[in-house]
Amino acid sequence: MSALVEQLPPLKEGAGAWIRKLETTTSQDRLAMGDIRALVTRCAGTVTTATLDRGTGTRNLVDRDPFDPYQNQWWGLLKEQFPTRGTRGGISGIRYKPGGEEGAAYLKRLEDTWEDVNGSHPHGLNNSLFRSEVERTLPQDIQKKLQDTVGLSTNDHPTWEAHVLHHLERYEEQAKEDKDEGASLRLQLVKLQLKEQQEKEKVRKNKDSKTAHHMAMEPAPQGGGGQPMTPMTPASLPQPPVPPPALTPVPQYFGPPMIDEGTTTILTDYANWKPWIDAHGCFHPPPDPPHTTLAVHRQPDELYQDEWNRHMEETRIQIAHQDIYVGPEGVAALALLGEELEQWYDVSGSVPHLTLGIAPDHFASSLGPMVKEATQSEWRPTKNPLIHRQKGGKDVPDKHPKENNDREQVLQTLAIAGYKCKQEKLHLAQPHVVFLGRRIGEDVRGMTQESKTAILKHPKPTNVQQMMAFLGLCNYSRQYVPDYTEKTAELRGMISAQGARNLKAKLEWTEPAEKAFEHLKASLHEAAALQAPDYEQPFHLDVTHRGPYVSGVLWQKQQGARRIFHYHSGTLEASEQGLPPCAKHLLATAQTLKKTAGITLNYPTVVHTSHRVK
């Protein structure tokens, strides 16, 4: 009872709000006469309860009798005893504010407030009073437009409400336009002030550099007497040495953090391609968190920063990224700025981008010009209107009409899918091709000799970052090596001992680690090519489980020989390693089937295990 009384508004301020709150709170309960008497007594005293009992004729009812048959009489008399204070339905103090709630929600809030205070929905004569009070809460411009609408006061409530919502919507649009225009003017003013300040600073520096340093001497007596000395000519004095150049302050970057909505972000794409990228060069991660720089100022500029914060206070920053560019300078992705951010971009000789990796001999500032040059490649049309060739590309004579027709079909298919390609990279009827470090052809796909040599000659890593780069290079070809996860466990343990985030930490090499490093390089260098499957034959999958490690081999029996398509290796989760042996073998089998599903494509597969699995 006490908890319910605390939720009810003061009864002295009006019975309407009190009754409405009580009915809402007890909507799932069936009240008795004793409950109502106790509530009224707690809120208004025993005299009020006795008056209501006499006035409604319920004095002879016992406390357990239901209250529902007498509810209307009690509520009517209670409203007479405690009328609503004021004549404006409790909404006179409310005012509409642009940029807050929508018009329909605002009117609904006024109706609910009116009903809470008065205990009834605004209708009939109350509806006219309700409309008048609602119009008082609106801005003066909307009030005037409603008053100028002929016959609006005599229309029904839905028509009046439609007019109000229309004017509220137009008012919001105008307020937003005024705000955007004001923000644009403030931005232009800030840019003018910045430019003026830069010009003044430039003039001051030029003036300081051109000012001659004079060392004038006033005439002074010699030896305490005699004629004064002839003053020395300033031009004959030696000039002071040139001051050492001032240290360039650290640039202050202004720009939002990278926001990339969607299931696959550019960072995920970069992580997927990183093994291939690492095979073409060594790139260090950028020192700063992922961001897109919009402007660079050599000195801190509070005016610029304040204007940025004010302009972006209610703006959701969204930057889309596309196309990862790999060059001698590093790795970066092109950033596509929206209309809100384009006016803020002010970096000469560059384009908006996201830095992903930096080459050892370059800086982060080199990535913007690299992306700009890559995006400005010129393309010229070919005979196929959907295909464009990079400017400077050579045409291939039509020596083989059938191959050219096939080529045209391939280019058409690529163009419809939205891709571009260079003609010299299109090969038809070739015995084999080299693609992404793979030699594909003759029903096999294997590592190129260049990739094997790069791994074999890879120097021994000395810190965590170099070890992660080496393992990333090897992981790209892990499907060619059986038991890969177990073979790299010792090397991964060296990273865990120092912490994966401690990139510059020195590694402690042990004899087992040395052997694991050399054995891994030899395994990849001697890795055999994988075969192409025959989908008319059943697949065979060998699954083994040793400790936490899972290994699998996908193969077929073709022409009496065992043809291997994929080596899988992994580990069980920590929570899975404590399960019974049969359960662990089931999990190992499920993991291997899932990892090889991209090859088997749900075709019949026979599983072979060292443990009976049902």
The reply to whether 350 falls in a domain is yes
Q: Pick from 499, 530, 561: which residue ends a domain? A: 530
CB 58 within 8 A of CB 36: no
**How many CB atoms sit inside 10 A of residue 227's CB?**
8
Q: What is the enclosing helix (H) or strand (E) of 171?
A: helix 157-210
CATH code of the domain covering residue 573? 3.10.20.370
Question: How, if at all, do strands 438-441 and 320-327 pair?
Answer: unpaired
The pLDDT confidence band at residue 423, using thresholds 50, 70 and 90, is: low
For 431-490, the DSSP string reads SEEEETTEEEETTEEEE-HHHHHHHHTPPPP-BHHHHHHHHHHHHTTGGGSTTHHHHTHH
Residue 491 pLDDT: 92
Instruction: Looking at the structure, tell me whether residues 314 and 357 fall in a common domain.
Output: yes
Name the DSSP class of 395.
P
The pLDDT confidence band at residue 89, using thresholds 50, 70 and 90, is: low
CB 293 within 8 A of CB 344: no
> Residue 219 phi/psi, 5° resolution?
-60, 135
Query: Which of 284, 265, 287, 280 lies closest to 333 in space, CA to CA?
Result: 265
Residue 43 pLDDT: 86
The reply to whether 162 falls in a domain is no
**CA dist list (Å): 370 to 219, 292, 327, 331, 422:** 64, 15, 7, 9, 20
**CA dist list (Å): 332 to 264, 283, 352, 559:** 17, 11, 10, 48
User: Considering only 9-23, 96-110, 226-240, 373-387, which range has the smallest mean pLDDT?
Assistant: 226-240
CB contact set of 261 (below 8 Å; sequence gap of 6+)? 318
Residue 311 pLDDT: 67
Residue 158 pLDDT: 81
CB 474 within 8 A of CB 456: no
Q: Quick one: angle between helices 125-136 and 140-148, nearest 10? A: 140
Residue 387 pLDDT: 46
Q: Quick one: angle between helices 157-210 and 140-148, nearest 10? A: 140
The reply to whether 461 falls in a domain is yes
Measure the CA–CA gap between 493 and 509, rounded to whole angstroms.
11
Instruction: Looking at the structure, tell me whether residues 603 and 554 fall in a common domain.
Output: yes
Most confident option among 14-28, 57-71, 93-107 = 57-71
Residue 254 pLDDT: 38
Instruction: Looking at the structure, tell me whether residues 299 and 350 fall in a common domain.
Output: yes
Residue 559 pLDDT: 82
Instruction: Looking at the structure, tell me whether residues 6 and 144 fall in a common domain.
Output: yes
% of the chain beyond a pLDDT of 70: 75
Does the pTM surpass 0.85? The reply is no
CB 476 within 8 A of CB 279: yes
Q: Is 476 exposed, middle or buried (0-12, 13-18, 19+ CB in 10 A)?
A: buried
Q: What confidence tens digit (pLDDT) does each residue in 234-287 have? A: 333 333 333 333 333 333 333 443 344 433 577 887 888 788 777 767 888 888
Q: What confidence tens digit (pLDDT) does each residue in 337-394 have? A: 877 777 777 787 888 888 989 988 888 888 888 888 877 765 555 555 444 444 444 4
Average pLDDT over residues 515-535: 90
The pLDDT confidence band at residue 541, using thresholds 50, 70 and 90, is: very high
Q: What confidence tens digit (pLDDT) does each residue in 559-605 have? A: 888 899 999 999 988 888 888 888 888 888 999 999 999 898 989 99
Instruction: Looking at the structure, tell me whether residues 496 and 573 fall in a common domain.
Output: no
Maximum Cα interatomic distance, the chain, rounded to a whole number of Å: 133
CB contact set of 384 (below 8 Å; sequence gap of 6+)? 408, 411, 412, 415
The reply to whether 170 falls in a domain is no
Instruction: Looking at the structure, tell me whether residues 23 and 132 fall in a common domain.
Output: yes
Residue 438 pLDDT: 85
> Residue 562 phi/psi, 5° resolution?
-85, 115
The reply to whether 479 falls in a domain is yes
Instruction: Looking at the structure, tell me whether residues 146 and 6 fall in a common domain.
Output: yes
User: Considering only 194-208, 404-418, 427-441, 544-558, which range has the smallest mean pLDDT?
Assistant: 194-208
Q: Pick from 150, 173, 208: which residue ends a domain? A: 150
Q: What confidence tens digit (pLDDT) does each residue in 296-311 have? A: 665 555 666 666 666 6
Measure the CA–CA gap between 291 and 368, rounded to whole angstroms.
13
Residue 553 pLDDT: 93
CB 33 within 8 A of CB 67: yes
Average pLDDT over residues 149-171: 80
User: Considering only 152-166, 290-304, 462-476, 483-497, which range has the smallest mean pLDDT?
Assistant: 290-304
Residue 424 pLDDT: 65
Average pLDDT over residues 131-137: 81
Is the pLDDT at 155 greater than 80? The verdict is: no
The reply to whether 7 falls in a domain is yes
Is the pLDDT at 166 greater than 90? The verdict is: no
Measure the CA–CA gap between 587 and 572, rounded to whole angstroms.
8
Domain coverage including residue 498:
444-530
Q: Which amino acid is at 105?
A: A
Instruction: Looking at the structure, tell me whether residues 387 and 460 fall in a common domain.
Output: no
Bridge partners, 440 (sequence order)? 433, 445
The tokens describing 319, both together, are 């930057």
Residue of higher predicted confidence among 507 and 200: 507
**How many CB atoms sit inside 10 A of residue 604's CB?**
9
The tokens describing 155, both together, are 């229309």
Residue 516 pLDDT: 92
Instruction: Looking at the structure, tell me whether residues 326 and 271 fall in a common domain.
Output: yes
Is the pLDDT at 195 greater than 70? The verdict is: yes
Query: Which of 194, 212, 209, 315 lies closest to 259 in space, CA to CA?
Result: 315
**CA dist list (Å): 537 to 459, 504, 554, 583:** 43, 51, 13, 30
Q: What is the enclosing helix (H) or strand (E) of 202?
A: helix 157-210
The tokens describing 397, both together, are 């004579």
CB 514 within 8 A of CB 536: no
Residue 299 pLDDT: 55
Q: Pick from 501, 530, 559: which residue ends a domain? A: 530
Residue 381 pLDDT: 54
Measure the CA–CA gap between 600 and 539, rounded to whole angstroms.
7
Q: Is 73 exposed, middle or buried (0-12, 13-18, 19+ CB in 10 A)?
A: middle
Residue 554 pLDDT: 93
The reply to whether 85 falls in a domain is yes
The pLDDT confidence band at residue 206, using thresholds 50, 70 and 90, is: low
Q: Is the Cα dihedral 401, 403, 409, 414 positive or negative?
A: negative
Instruction: Looking at the structure, tell me whether residues 354 and 421 fall in a common domain.
Output: no
The reply to whether 552 falls in a domain is yes
The 3-state secondary structure of 215-241 reads CCCCCCCECCECCCCCCCCHHHCCCCC
Measure the CA–CA gap between 550 and 545, rounded to whole angstroms.
5
Residue 84 pLDDT: 67
The pLDDT confidence band at residue 520, using thresholds 50, 70 and 90, is: very high
CATH code of the domain covering residue 466? 3.30.70
CB 550 within 8 A of CB 570: yes
Is the pLDDT at 168 greater than 80? The verdict is: yes
Instruction: Looking at the structure, tell me whether residues 558 and 538 fall in a common domain.
Output: yes
Q: How many domains does the chain contain in total?
A: 5
The pLDDT confidence band at residue 517, using thresholds 50, 70 and 90, is: very high
Q: Measure the N-to-C terminal CA separation of the chain; round to a whole number of Å.
A: 62
Measure the CA–CA gap between 213 and 491, rounded to whole angstroms.
65
Torsion angle, alpha carbons of 520, 526, 527, 531, to 10? -170
Q: Quick one: angle between helices 71-81 and 46-56, nearest 10? A: 130
Instruction: Looking at the structure, tell me whether residues 28 and 91 fall in a common domain.
Output: yes
